[in-house]
Amino acid sequence: MRRPPLSRLVALLAAMLVALGTIFVRLTVLQVSQAASLRALALEQRLRTVELPAVRGEIVDRNGEPLAISLEARDVYADPRYVRDPWATAAVLAPMLGRDRAELADLLREDTSFVYLARQVDLDVADRIAARGLPGIGSLPSSRRSYPAGPLAAQVLGFVGVDGVGLAGLELAYEEELSGIPGERTQEIDPLGQPIAGGIDIERPPVPGATIVTTIDRDLQYQAQRALEEHVRANRARGGTVIVLDVRTGDVLAMATYPWFDPNRFTEASAETYRNRAVTDAFEPGSTNKVITAAAAVDRGAVGLRQVFAVPWELRVGGYTIHDAHPHGVLPMTLGDIVAESSNIGSILVAQRVGAPAMAAYLDRFGLGRPTGVGFPGESPGILPPPYAWTGSSLATISYGQGVAATPLQMAAVYAAIANDGRWVQPRLVRGIRDPRTGFEPAPPPRTRRAVAPETAEVISRMLAYAVEAGTGQRAAVPGYQVAGKTGTARIPAPGGNGYLRGQYIASFIGFLPASEPRVVIAAILDRPTTDYGGIAAAPLFQEVARAAIARLAIQPARPLPPPPTAGDGP
C-alpha cells in the first residue's frame, strides 16, 4: 500500500493543530475572559423579577367603620416563552377566568416575557389554576377594592381602577397615602417557567398604604341618603343633595348626592353619577343667600332692627322690573319680616342701605367666590363677579341670590358661620391619616376667620328661627327643638347664559339646630322638584334628616331664642 506524501501529513497535522488551537483559544476566552459575563447572561435568562403591589389602605368613617377596604386576590400572568401550546392552554384557562379563548390564545403567543391574563382574580380560582401546573402560567399577590356598604357615600369615596389607582373622590385625592410602597420578588426559574427549588428567591415586601379616617358618620350618612332618595322620588325631582356639617369643627358628618352609584360596579353606572355635586357643582342659591344680606346690614348697622320698610310687590332696578314671589300691596316689614317672608324686594331695599362695596366684602367673608379648601378634587369656587363688574342690577339680584353661584358646601358653611357665633370654619372630610409605620396623624386644624360679630350672629339666628316658626320654613320645624333656617327657590340659568329656564327651580332649605346652641347645620337641596318651592319641597327633607341627626348625635333641646322685632309689634 502506498503511503501518503509526507507533505500531506504535515499539512493535515498543521490544520489539526490550528483547529485545536482555535478551540483552545475559544474555550479559554469563554472560560476565563468571558466567564463572568456569560454567567451573568445565563442567570439573567433564569431570573424573573416582578413587582409586588402594596395593599391599599382603608378608608373608614369617623368611628373606624370600614367604607373602603382591600380584599386579597391574585393577578394571573403568563410568560409566553414557556407556553407549549397556546390554544390548549387558553382552552383550560378561558372558563376559569371568564375570558374568550381566542383572546387568551393571542396573549399567550405574544413576543414578550410577561403578560397579564386576568387581574384581581379570586383566590380559589387562582388556586385551581395553579393546581393544573400549566407551563408558563403563574399568579402574583394582588388585592381587590371593595366597598362594604355599596353606594354609601359613593361620590365622596370615589373608586379605584383595575390597576389599583384611585380615579375619583377621596381615592384619588389621597392616592399617595393610600397606595403604599410596592415591593418586588426575584426568582430563578426553569425552562418551564417554574421556580427552581433552592434557586434564587429574593423578596422585598411591600409597605401597606395608610388608612384615611374620614369625618363621615356611616349611620347618619345612611339615614341622610335614605331620606334624600325618598324625597327626590316623592317630589319627582331630578336629583338632590344633603349635607350635615358639625358647626364647631367643620366636620362633614354626611354628604349625599342623588342619584348615586355602587363603586363596586362603577363601570356599569353613568359617569354623571360620579360627581360629588355638593362640592363640584355651583348653583344660584336664591333666597338662602338673603342671610348674608341680612348679616351685612346688621353687622354694619345699616338697618335698625325695628326699622320698618314699605315693601311693594315690584321694583324697577337697573332697567329691570323685579318682583316678589306673590303679588301683594305695599307691606310694612322689618328686617326680621323680610327674612321670615323671604321678600326679594325687601332684600333689595336692605342691600341698598348696605351698598355694593360692603356687600361684596361680606360675600367674600362668608366664602363665596373661592373654594372652601375641603380637600376634595375638582372643588368649584362658585361664581362671584368682582365688584368692578357689577352692573346696575347686580346689588339687587345678588341680595336675594341671583347673579351669584355657590356650591351646596359653601352655603352650608355660610350658615355654619352664623351658628358658630359669626366665625367661618373651613369644612373638612378627613380627620386624619393612620400610617402603619408612624401611627395616627390628625389633620391640620381647620382655617377660621371672623365673618360677622357674635352679636350679629345671634340676631340673625333669631331671625332664622322666626322664619321657621312663622315664615316660609315652617315645614322644617322639629317638635321639641327650635330650628333656625331659611328656604330658597332659585331659578336655573339657561344654557349659554341667556335668561333662565322656564318653570324650573332648585329648591333648598338650609338651617341649624338647636337655634340657641347649634350642633349641626343641614343643607337640603332638590334639583327641579315638581313642587317647586323650597318651603314645600326641601324643608320636609331637612326635617327628616334633622330627626336622624338628633337621634344619632344625642342632641338635646336648648332654650329658645326670642323672636326679632316685627312690623306687627307696634311702636
Query: Three-state DSSP class for 501?
Result: strand
Q: Which three cell numbers stand for residue 505?
A: 327651580
Tens-place pLDDT, residues 320-377: 899 888 899 999 999 999 999 999 999 999 999 999 999 999 999 999 999 999 999 9
C-alpha span between 185 and 179 (Å, rounded):
18
pLDDT of residue 452: 97
Tens-place pLDDT, residues 264-300: 999 999 999 999 999 999 999 999 999 999 999 999 9
Q: Which three cell numbers stand for residue 458?
A: 345671634
The per-type count for the chain, helices as H runs and strands as E runs, is 18, 21
Burial of 100 by CB count in 10 Å (0-12 exposed, 13-18 middle, 19+ buried)?
A: exposed
Nearest residue to 365 (alpha-carbon basis) of 438, 269, 291, 261: 291
pLDDT of residue 31: 67
Q: Give 323-326 contacts, CB < 8 A, sequence gap 24+.
A: 325/489, 325/533
Active site residues: 287
- Domains of the chain, each with CATH number or no CATH: 49-99+140-189+197-213 (3.90.1310.10), 218-569 (3.40.710.10)
Residue that the C-alpha cell 383550560 belongs to: 92
Q: Are 401 and 288 in contact (CB under 8 A)?
A: yes
Residue that the C-alpha cell 316623592 belongs to: 234
pLDDT of residue 43: 53
Q: Are 401 and 281 in contact (CB under 8 A)?
A: no
Q: Within its chain, how far is the Cα of 453 from the centroid?
A: 33
pLDDT of residue 533: 75
* Region at 133 (left for phi over 0; alpha for psi -120 to 50; beta for the rest): left
Q: Which helix (H) or strand (E) holds 540?
A: helix 534-553
User: Where would I find the H helices in 408-496?
Assistant: 408-419, 454-470
C-alpha span between 69 and 65 (Å, rounded):
10
DSSP 33: I
Q: Are 301 and 504 in contact (CB under 8 A)?
A: no
C-alpha span between 372 and 393 (Å, rounded):
27
Task: Give the start-end residues of each E strand in 359-436.
Answer: 423-425, 430-435
Task: Report in angstroms the alpha-carbon separations of 220 from 119, 321, 427, 431, 550.
Answer: 35, 44, 17, 17, 10
Burial of 366 by CB count in 10 Å (0-12 exposed, 13-18 middle, 19+ buried)?
A: buried
Q: Spell out the residues 6+ positions from residue 106 whose beta carbon is closer than 8 angstroms to its own.
A: none
Residue that the C-alpha cell 389602605 belongs to: 57
Q: Spell out the residues 6+ positions from residue 100 whose beta carbon is closer than 8 angstroms to its own.
A: 94
pTM: 0.86
pLDDT of residue 154: 97
Q: Spell out the residues 6+ positions from residue 354 whose beta carbon is closer than 8 angstroms to its own.
A: 293, 296, 297, 300, 302, 303, 362
pLDDT of residue 50: 67
Q: Which helix (H) or strand (E) holds 229?
A: helix 218-234
Tens-place pLDDT, residues 152-200: 999 999 999 888 899 999 999 999 999 988 877 777 777 666 677 766 7
pLDDT of residue 40: 58
Residue that the C-alpha cell 331659578 belongs to: 491
Q: Spell out the residues 6+ positions from residue 302 whose beta carbon is closer than 8 angstroms to its own.
A: 296, 350, 353, 354, 355, 358
pLDDT of residue 306: 94
pLDDT of residue 191: 67
The amino acid at 163 = D
Q: Are 382 and 406 in contact (CB under 8 A)?
A: yes
User: Where would I find the H helices in 83-217?
Assistant: 86-97, 101-108, 123-132, 154-157, 169-173, 175-179
Nearest residue to 115 (alpha-carbon basis) of 145, 86, 73: 86
pLDDT of residue 438: 85
With a cut of 70, which residues of the chain have pLDDT below it?
Answer: 1-4, 25-48, 50-51, 191-194, 198-199, 201, 497, 532, 570-571
Task: Report in angstroms the alpha-carbon separations of 455 from 156, 354, 355.
Answer: 36, 18, 21
Task: Report in angstroms the alpha-carbon separations of 349 from 307, 322, 364, 387.
Answer: 12, 12, 21, 19
pLDDT of residue 325: 83
